[in-house]
Chains A and B, each alone.
Chain A
Amino acid sequence: MAEPWTDGTVRPAAAADIESWSCPTPAHPEQRVVMGHGGGGRLSAELVEQLFLPAFGSAASTATPTDAAVLGLPGGGRVAFTTDTYVVRPLFFPGGDIGELAVFGTVNDLAMSGATPLALSTAFVLEEGLELEVLTAVATSMGKAAMRAGVGLVTGDTKVVERGHGDGLYVNTAGIGVVPDGVDIRPGRATPGDVVLVSGPIGMHGIAVLSLREGLEFGTELQSDTAPLNALVAAMLAVDRDVHVLRDLTRGGLATSLCELADTACIGVEFEEASVPVPEAVRAGCGFLGLDPLHVANEGKLVTFVHPERADEVLEAMRSTPEGAGSEVIGRVVEDHPGVVVARTRFGSTRVVDRPLGEQLPRIC
């Protein structure tokens, strides 16, 4: 564990001392990065908490790690700042592509702090041999996506790696946005009694990508839900500037978002499983692969906690936008079982909802 130096800064040496990690990993004694470290689940969180933060020492923010940092400006006002790297395969999938994801993903990370996104940077890692036609298609898609989200693409960078050293194309985007006065959205504001809402049907992106990548078809053509959420958030803030918590649902699905929020805010969450909208094709795909829709990736949905007296207005505002048309109330924040998310099944029984460990693994039978 990190120890304070006499000058008050935090000693980063613990980062190199992998043996001292609180949770040794007998399954990975060679101590290398495994795919699960990028899966957005527990392993990813461990990498941040046990490697990056100790290694960064006093340079790391003392605030709880979130998708976007909110920084006060010397002259007053606050900006939100975020970055994300996109390594999706295939580059094009039903309902979207890597370029659109790279713009919307970063716009959404900004929006989840309540910020109005202003501008994005774009950085490309290209593999030698990539067809310019592909790059053109991705770049064009990024331009369109930025216009839809109302942000500028204002600076960028391009690097090329040798053939075989990249998956065709990786994109990094960073973004800044302005947080309106009076808006204070963060996990810590979750309060027992808050109503939990989700902005539409879940699991579409994950199953759309998986079905294409693995050549699986589930009868229905499923489109990714890739979408910018800043207009949806603006509509919510217009009726309730006091929205407590926002979180976009990404790799680890609704379950991961709720578990992270419960964990960070030290509150419990209870929801009705039957209230969570799951499209038929997602259920079919998950049934076939042995996956849980609650764990499947999304790219255009959010979950929010709001004061119970404002829930109806917020729900109505959400449903009035194209991105939130399928919004539903799914549950409540509770005082009991802090850090734990509990689902009530359609049969009336209950179970703990956990986040996936790392990558979800299709089962044997």
Chain B
Amino acid sequence: MKYLDEFQDPVLAGRLFAEIDAAVTRPWALMEVCGGQTHSIMRNGIDQLLPDTVELIHGPGCPVCVTPLEMIERALEIASRPDVVFCSFGDMLRVPGRDRDLFGVKASGGDVRIVYSPLDAVAVAEAEPDRQVVFFGVGFETTAPANAMAVVQARDRGLANFSMLVSHVLVPPAIEAILSSPTSRVNGFLAAGHVCSVMGTGQYEPLADRYHVPIVVTGFEPLDVLDGIRRCILQLEEGRGEVENAYARAVQVGGNPVAKAVLAEVFEVCDRSWRGIGLIPGSGWRLTPAFADFDAERRFDVGDLTAEEPTECRAGEVLQGMIKPDQCEWFGTTCTPRTPMGATMVSSEGACAAYHQYRRVDTPVSVRRG
């Protein structure tokens, strides 16, 4: 299949592995920023096939995982109201709040609906004018344009019963937070391709310059990931620290100007807490004052609702690349997808869920190259 088969070809993968083998002269630790990349790595066993000297650290790029507990609590509070239709991407329904999740709210009679696009939620608002329709606007820069467009459409259609609970997060400040941490071991980054298809690559130039670190914009299919790793290793071995685009079929330097225009109209930068990590300055987006009427936090007066993160869960260390999921004492015993202690075990893109799904036991089968 076009754009799938080519990027899963075992023969081409073998060549990339060989190039990586030939290039590596000493240990390197690379962080793949996006949870989609983590899953691709684990599902395809890419880490098993790399030289032992190349370590992959799994980054914080899973929107479900980093949505702060207080935002989950606000969602649960709003979704429980009898006049509300609460629309969300499916991933968010199983994320544990303090003592329940959105599935639980649904089972208790809340009108919680899975949608595939925020525009579906706008359509619900139009079809059911007597109900308050709230969309849970989570995600990185990738999902933000569609969310922004939904708010614009709601305004243009005069849908006073539509609002959005916004919990957007931004990748570059998170990379900077990791780079500036004294405990960081990361030598190079695989940046999230989909984020860059919206925002372009320009935001990463100052980071690469300031920290002299390779940042390779990388896709999600196995060969995309391998090529990203190869380019990152080559930069490190040659002493370079540059922004490089390994996902040129989707990413342009300037990003998507139409999407960026609507983002600038609808959202403004704000400080944001990341679940398990804490507050990262300037790392989020909220609605601009012009769209304040569509802000669900204001409409339902839940902005003051706060929640303490449970102290036992070590998701924060996982999200910052300080430990691997299976190095956590709760992994696979107390904490499983069935009984998650943190969102990293819930989301299909969470690093803990990926380890649990694909590496729960040491697979005893000998590894051989394609």
Contacts and interface: CB of A to CB of B under 8 A. Distances in A.
Nearest to B92: A364
A348 B93 contact: no
Interface in B311-370: 337-340, 347-349, 356-361, 363-365, 367-370
Given A352-B360, A363-B348, A364-B91, A27 B13 contact: no
Interface residues of B, number: 59
Contacts of A5: none
A361 B348 contact: yes
Given A26-B339, A342-B365, A364 B64 contact: yes
Contact of A351 (B1, B338, B363): B363
Interface stretch (A83-91, A122-130, A279-287): A279-287
Nearest to A288: B116
A365 B49 contact: no
A351 B42 CA distance: 8
Given A348-B49, A361-B91, A363-B91, A34 B370 contact: no
A347 B107 contact: no
Interface string A342-365: 101111111110100100011111
Nearest to A360: B90
Nearest to B146: A365
A280 B3 CA distance: 12
A24 B99 CA distance: 12
Contact of A362 (B90, B360, B363): B90
B348 A290 contact: yes
A349 B45 contact: yes
A280 B103 contact: no
A352 B361 contact: yes
Contacts of A270: 365
A33 interface: yes
A32 B45 contact: no
Contacts of A214: 116
A27 B93 CA distance: 10
B361 to A, nearest CB: 6
A275 to B, nearest CB: 13
Contacts of A25: 338-339
Nearest to B3: A287
B109 to A, nearest CB: 9
Contacts of A336: 364-365
B99 A29 contact: yes
B127 to A, nearest CB: 14
Interface stretch (B137-145, B152-160, B248-256): B137-145
B65 to A, nearest CB: 11
A365 B1 contact: no
Contacts of A342: 363-365
B8 interface: yes
A342 B367 CA distance: 12
B89 interface: yes
Given A36-B103, A363-B89, A363-B91, A26 B367 contact: no
B42 A362 contact: no
Nearest to B47: A349
| Listed residue (B106, B108, B339, B348) with the most chain A CB atoms within 10 angstroms of its CB | B348
B8 A351 contact: no
A348 B370 contact: yes
B91 A283 contact: no
Chain A to chain B: the 7 pairs with minimum beta-carbon distance, closest first: A349-B45, A361-B90, A351-B358, A32-B107, A350-B363, A348-B368, A349-B48
30 contacts: A23-B338, A26-B96, A27-B340, A29-B100, A33-B107, A280-B1, A287-B4, A337-B364, A342-B363, A345-B43, A345-B45, A346-B10, A346-B370, A347-B46, A347-B370, A348-B368, A349-B49, A350-B45, A351-B45, A351-B363, A352-B361, A352-B363, A354-B357, A354-B360, A357-B94, A362-B91, A363-B348, A364-B143, A365-B139, A365-B140
Given A26-B96, A345-B44, A350-B45, 16 more contacts: A26-B339, A27-B339, A28-B104, A30-B100, A33-B107, A337-B364, A346-B10, A347-B45, A349-B44, A349-B45, A349-B367, A351-B359, A352-B358, A357-B338, A363-B348, A365-B139
Interface of A: 23-30, 32-36, 42-43, 214, 216, 270, 280, 283-284, 287, 290, 336-337, 340, 342, 344-352, 354, 357, 361-365
